[in-house]
Structure 1
Amino acid sequence: MFLSVEKLKRLRKEKGWSQEVLAKASGLSVRTIQRIESNGKASAESSLAIAAVFDLSPKLLIATSNEIEVNWTKEIMMKNGLALAIITGVIWMLVILAGSANLYIDIASALFLVLFLYGATIVTFGTEGLFKSVVGLKYLFTDELVGGTKAKYLGQVYSAQVKFLYGGALIGLVIGAIAILGNIDTYEGFVFQRASAVNLIVLFYAAILSEGLIRPLSIKLKTCDIAT
């Protein structure tokens, strides 16, 4: 869990204690106290020990800032980066096994989906919500964060974006189906099948973005305050 660094320092200074004195009173090492006052991260045992010294409930020491507080470490960033790489690799492997990679490349569908996603985000959450959603993608590379109301808001933005992606894909599918069926008399059998396959690419892109990136990020932000 994350403790409020400011609150902990204030309580310590109100007693006129140094970090060494707090460490001795709580039974923790000086290095542990220094680390907690640096990034706020503390184990349940350390939190109980410090709270007992100040005769407080551990809940009163938990960080309640509206700002998203993140513990960036090289190990965590590498772990999450590797996880994203594995997801990308697995999808690419299936693409290769299914046929030529060229079958899955459609710039027009990708551009439509991205523009629809961010256009819908602006309509719903404004340009500020759009900016925060783009910047917030960095939280994919950490799993130690506390965010309060700002994290919950960003989680709601990403949840909405999942719906926007599938909504955009549905519109693309319907438009594609109308175009295909409206010109069915001009198609040969192979051409019709090819056009139908291409029409599904927009749904493929929406599923990758939604389930591989945005939905996991939404869940992470919504649950970060209850993680310990």
Structure 2
Amino acid sequence: MTDWTLVTGANRGLGLEFVRQQLADGASVVATCRHPGKATALNQLAAEHPGHLKVLPLDVGDTRSRDELVREWPMAAGEDARIGLLINNAGVLHSGERFGTLSADVLDDSLRINVTGPLLLTQALAPLLADGARVANLSSQLGSIANTGRFGTPSYAISKAAQNMATVQLAHALRARGIVVVALHPGWVQTDMGGAGASEVPEASVAGLRRVIAGLRDADSGRFLDFNGKALPW
């Protein structure tokens, strides 16, 4: 029985590149995004890899959408299929925040999508995770409290710091099953979120992240690492 990879936020950027590289290595992938009908690149990949890529709808911040993904899993991947690698990639960054005009709505949305969503999705998918599976939460060095040197992107930074704590909590919750959960910083990447001036390209970032994931040991569960495997301060 083949363990599947599940990637959230897979219609663009790092999520899409994870799907590409996993498929290139012969993996079976379930790719999720909010609007599969508009995910042109994903649907093209599905046509090129029949039977190895399933594209399913998911709004990671919505309870009903998460529950529906769990219900659809057996039909998409098979009754006995399990998840060997879960990439919690979907996230949001609200730009243009200024101190004095911060809003509860933006903070709430960042926490709902970047923290609550991946935490509760992993909980919902826990029965489908294979023993010894890997869960990679795509975090950011902006979530490092120790490395914060200026005011900037507060809702994103706060949510990523909280996601890091969620990663540690999940690591403890799933440790008995040999499931390793880590927070990973992909670098500053040339995506819609990172911008064209970023220092890393998606192909190199994801290749590095995949090497880190492949090398994870049980003792690494709950760690905060970058795409080169370097530990980052909390």
Coarse TM-score class (shorter-chain normalised): under 0.3
In terms of fraction of residues, the more helix-rich structure is 1
Q: Using structure 2 for the length normalisation, give the TM-score.
A: 0.25
TM-score, length-scaled by structure 1: 0.25
Structure showing the higher strand proportion among its residues: 2
In our comparison, the structure showing a higher alpha carbon Rg is 1
Higher RCO (CA-CA < 8 Å; seq separation 6+):
1
